[in-house]
Amino acid sequence: MGEHKQKPGSDWLAWEKQRDSLKNRWVIVVVAFWVTALIAAAMYVVNKQLDFILTSIALGMMVLGVWLKSRYQQHLRKEPENKA
């Protein structure tokens, strides 16, 4: 009576949407990390002093990137059987 019937492949579509979302977020964080790291390196060359705020942001992006990558890998292992 209260059963919710799903179309064949709806599990696959939901999984695919989640996969794409995780991958996009991971790519954005990786790019943000490298941009921040390059800016911090340039500031170090100019000022001969490490900028603590930029270094903290870069390290935070690195940690976030590792976390998102692990979530993405876990999600890939849960790929549904039916793709149709």
pLDDT in tens, 27-55: 999 999 999 999 999 999 999 999 999 99
Q: Which residue has the tokens 């990558």?
A: 69
Domain segments of the chain: what residues?
A: 10-77
Band (17; pLDDT cuts 50, 70, 90): very high
Residue 81 has pLDDT above 50, yes or no: yes
Place of tokens 């911090």: 40
Per-residue pLDDT at 46: 96
Give the pLDDT score at 2. Answer: 47
User: pLDDT at residue 1 above 50?
Assistant: no
CA–CA dist 42, 46 (Å, integer) = 6
Residue 80: Cβ within 10 Å count: 13
What distance in Å separates the CA atoms of residue 31 and residue 64, rounded to the nearest whole number?
A: 12
